[in-house]
Structure 1
């Protein structure tokens, strides 16, 4: 592992324990820049800054060096505090309107951190049963929220994003936790049938918030990371969420059921590797979480997964070519589910089906005959994004490499 990655994980571990790093030996300003760039890539700058700014090594820096990072930390923490307060107001409004939404990830996970507002979130995820969607939509409009994509058909979409003019509040309203039409992971929704009936209530800043019960929620956090891993990757922040959640709610988690579900989707090694990463680097405690031997006995090397998620950043967005490689990996997973062999399919990568592109081009749901136009638009945008080099070749290389990684963790057959 690179020294920069080691320092990054040390600082993150300290932040999760509300501690400071004890680095005494000074290192070059360029290395400090690398550390903060990594923090930005994983959207954890406030946590990293708070953990390192006052250590002996940092005191050796020019006093002005840390100012930009301090300024961005204050801005991000302040913004998150505003968003959290606004969301809790919105949640109370929905409850008064008779809506019974479940809140997942985001604010529920942030409440587990020593400094919740230092764990920033781009949005909040709210899940309602389909029959409550229309009423929830009207209640959101009454609160001043507006659809972020006005042209989107909210009746057929599985999720709809809303923002509020003049406010940083942004939510995603889900009818299901995963897109049902996804060939790669749409079937994950079956595990959450009846989840509203077995929901739990947690306290967030003194407010009672309904959410998934502990077993469902941990499985959802794993599935969410798994979903993004099948695309182009996920960042270390999701592993932090999983580690803290398991530590906090481990005694109420049905670990055998969780393992059975992970095994059913070929994610048991993937999940075990996440817990290994959590234990080695992020303060996850198998004892505190009541993790049974059936989990600890899973033989897996987490190194390759850790390297992949560190390099990719949040949702693999650190590299455009890596983002585009998701077509290759998703096609491989879908092919295996259909009884085929996971392989690289260049034509499907360049010319995906109307179903695969309908999320980006909603008009394909109604007018699939416009698929060639969507291909043309997609290729034009891709050409602009990768004009500096042979982006297609690099995407194929990354996709092929990540298919091998999925085989290593048993997600795809060798």
Structure 2
């Protein structure tokens, strides 16, 4: 693995435990390359203090340190503003007897040395569908505007434009996804009333998912992003902090039974192996589970550091979402050979088509028309996006890479 990328993992470790003495030699680091890795992983603010400390001993260009400082402060100011608004909003919602369940976001950020070090693009709030209209009324009362373009049936996106603050209001934890995997997740009833807890997070009292339920949800969320486009190092840090803080409140055996049920076991064992080896996760989470030594672990780690991309010059991972979704939800199976994967990507089945080809999903005889339609759409979009659009061969390579990773991590075929 690239030397600078391995050192980035070490710097993240230093940032996670700021009271520990820095022992690693950073004399040969390409600091510009390391900054790009930090930025791609949305971790400039998190690792800045370590970089600033190292700049005294090592020859980090002053211009880069100053630029890094500005990037970190910008991120921190966004987080401070966001949580200031959220605190006020939650207090007012409580006065109006609106039960809002906050998850991810501030629950995870509170585990960091300083909650402003963890960047997030929005705040996620769950509300039971029976309270939907009441919650919507509350949002509108406080000046949040619904963004129809980014909203779905089970997730409404609201923005507070004065501060560019986004809240996603969920009526289902699993958004609009459908399929056998989602059915299993719904069966776990992660939002049932008697499992919800109240905790202090980022200077406010919030209602959130139970300790075990939240860990299960986080693994779903990570696997979703990993399957559809890739995840970054921040997710390793999130889970390490969460397990280390709440391990005594998590029923470990129950957690693993549910991972078995969801076919997430192999992925979790390998993900936790990385967390243990690089970031000091409490190994109690692996009680009665062997810590894996499996071929493909370094490829998995490199994919995480690269945030899923194999073409670093292109920010285009979102282009394969339509291809990957049926495999993530359990609606389709990954072919056994690379040739089979290519055929599936080029000529998807009706259930593997995105929703904008609904006519072929409903009438399978129209499938060849949909394939031709896809080619036309691809050609038009490639022209309009130019440098930020995958060529046909690149798109195929990216999809094949993700599908092979999913297979190796047990996310298909019963988790084997």
TM-score of the superposition, structure 1-length normalised?
0.85
Map of 1:166 onto structure 2:
162
Distance 1:217 1:25 in 2: 37
Distance 2:60 2:131 in 1: 55
1:323 positional shift: 3.4
1:239 positional shift: 1.5
1:340 positional shift: 8.1
- Equivalent position to 1:249, from 246, 249, 273: 246
Aligned length: 400
Distance 1:204 1:228 in 2: 25
Map of 1:99 onto structure 2:
98
Distance 1:189 1:251 in 2: 25
- The answer for unaligned runs of 5 or more in structure 1 is none
Q: Kindly tell me: are residues 222 and 148 of structure 1, through their superposed partners in 2, closer, same or farther at Cα, counting changes over 3 Å?
A: same
Map of 2:288 onto structure 1:
294
Map of 2:225 onto structure 1:
228
Q: Kindly tell me: are residues 46 and 249 of structure 1, through their superposed partners in 2, closer, same or farther at Cα, counting changes over 3 Å?
A: same
- The answer for unaligned runs of 5 or more in structure 2 is none
Aligned pairs for 1:100-249 (under 5 A) are: 100-149=99-148, 157-183=153-179, 185-187=181-183, 188-192=185-189, 194-249=191-246
Q: Residues 144-163 of structure 1: CA distance to partner in whole angstroms, max 9, x if unpaired?
A: 101122x67x7x71101111
Check the 8 A contact 1:41/1:318 in 2, yes or no: no
1:322 positional shift: 3.9
1:394 positional shift: 1.3
Map of 1:400 onto structure 2:
400
1:206 positional shift: 3.6
Distance 1:25 1:252 in 2: 38
Check the 8 A contact 2:382/2:390 in 1, yes or no: no
Q: Kindly tell me: are residues 184 and 161 of structure 1, through their superposed partners in 2, closer, same or farther at Cα, counting changes over 3 Å?
A: farther
Distance 1:218 1:237 in 2: 15
1:57 positional shift: 6.7
Q: Residues 137-188 of structure 1: CA distance to partner in whole angstroms, max 9, x if unpaired?
A: 0000001101122x67x7x711011111211321100000113443374322
Question: SS in structure 2 opposite 1:80?
Answer: helix
RMSD: 3.3
Aligned pairs for 1:266-285 (under 5 A) are: 266-285=263-282
Q: Residues 5-55 of structure 1: CA distance to partner in whole angstroms, max 9, x if unpaired?
A: 111111111111125745555336xx1011010000000101121112121
1:401 positional shift: 2.4
Check the 8 A contact 2:229/2:308 in 1, yes or no: no
Distance 1:389 1:405 in 2: 22
